[in-house]
Structure 1
Amino acid sequence: MLRRGKGIELKSRGEIEAMREAGLVVASALAAVTAQAKVGVSTGELDELAEQTIRDAGAVPSFKGYHGFPASICASLNEKVVHGIPSRDEVLSEGDLLSVDCGAILDGWHGDSAVTLAIGEIGEKDRALSAATEASMWAGIEKVRAGNRLTDISHAVETAALAAAKAEGLEFGIIAEYGGHGIGTQMHMEPFLPNLGKPGKGPKLRVGMAIAVEPMLTLGTAETEELDDEWTVVTADGSRSAHWEHTVAITEEGPWVLTAPEK
């Protein structure tokens, strides 16, 4: 049964298992999009594919219509950080870096996940950027455990990003104003999860909480701007960005990545 823990929704084991089913729908949609994200394909076509995959599973796209958003995925190309609106006119080219964010609702429960995809052959800096973003997500996920504090996740994300930057001889911008969030009966719930900060702060994590961990890194500034469409967020200096995300539940056994593929 749903409970509240200092404003954060707590779920029973059965409810987390129901969220897992929604997460598997998201994983399937992203797998379908990943397979089709090639040179010459439009982001609009990828959006249609994702929506069909979600609906074929008996679920509903959680993004479409959310505060007026017009699509089932966010397709953020190159300098677009998040909330890119897919279009039939936006065609993928060799060397593009595409972040795809996808959500689905199944039986009232939400799943939310994002991947960054290489279109054809991409540059080494772009590859390092995406790999560092994914690694920082997994570092954060490792801290999604009962007894930790919320910003233990934030600090792990930041530390992993900085370590990757040092190892690659690069500087990554860590987006601060967008981050992870609670999730369950709604897509965006308390708490907001920053992608950087000191550890040991914020609410104590408890079994039954579910959190979307989603770092965004750039190859330049961490400053962003919103385009005139009032959705698309871009880097202020035009540098490329990467975005990775998983929905994670806290169980007695540790983190359960609800949007990971079934294997």
Structure 2
Amino acid sequence: MNTYRFPDYEVAGDADTTVFLLHGAYGSRAYFRPLIQTLVEAGYRVVAWDAPGYGLSPLPQGGLSIEGLAEAAARLIEREGSRRNVVVGHSMGGIVAPLASLLSQGRVHGVVISATVATFSRKSAQDKATFAEERIGPIRRGLPFKEAALPVIRGMLAPTSSGPLVDLVVDVASGMRADTFCAAIEAIVGYDGEDNLKAVSVPTLLIAGAQDKVGRPEGMQSLTALISNSRFVCIDGAAHYAFAEQAGAFNAALLGFLSELPDPHA
């Protein structure tokens, strides 16, 4: 029998508002553990997934695409959604989140995009090639994943970032499967999401680390011109992983946004 295989995920908390957490190309839901705890303690329900191909979830036949990831996320939202649903996407998850919200046909009431370029459509062919080469070139040439990944991951942190939350990100992000990661980078580079960003109408929060060289603050701020109901927050002292590097400031921005969302059924 051919039945749909949901990606692995966890549910925490019990509330009318559910926050769906979508991780980046480096990582899994495991590096969101402190954020999950913060959200549950603040009175929210959380669904955090391992995207298809991540954690114990098998890599789909034919590899990964942003469209396929967004469809999987939309199915999960349909299955686990509550009265009000918010999608929080970090890095690759931030590319997936806008399309997932559109595919959810009114079930998503807010979107948070963290530390991402959101679309590669504006980048040159050389920029795309450089981005991919830095991340998957050494792996394709036989370097073990962790050895190839660690310099890139540490290079995406602010020079002053340290502590247990940062250590957790580095450990989780450097411990994943090479085939999944390579497929994810190819999916990111090949995706043009500008039209989908323009179609997002729900309240949207854009969060960037001030020192992020990937989801650059100026690039993320420019997305406010594409997403009609959006606002931008820049986190000082953080780079690509603001939720771990400056957790207090990141959590304050996220919780403030969640608290201001209107009741969709009022």
Sort the TM-score into its range (normalised by shorter chain): under 0.3
Which structure dedicates a bigger proportion of its chain to helix?
2
Under a length normalisation based on structure 1, what TM-score does the superposition of the two structures give?
0.28
Which structure dedicates a bigger proportion of its chain to strand?
1
Under a length normalisation based on structure 2, what TM-score does the superposition of the two structures give?
0.28
Relative contact order higher in (CA < 8 Å, ≥ 6 apart): 1
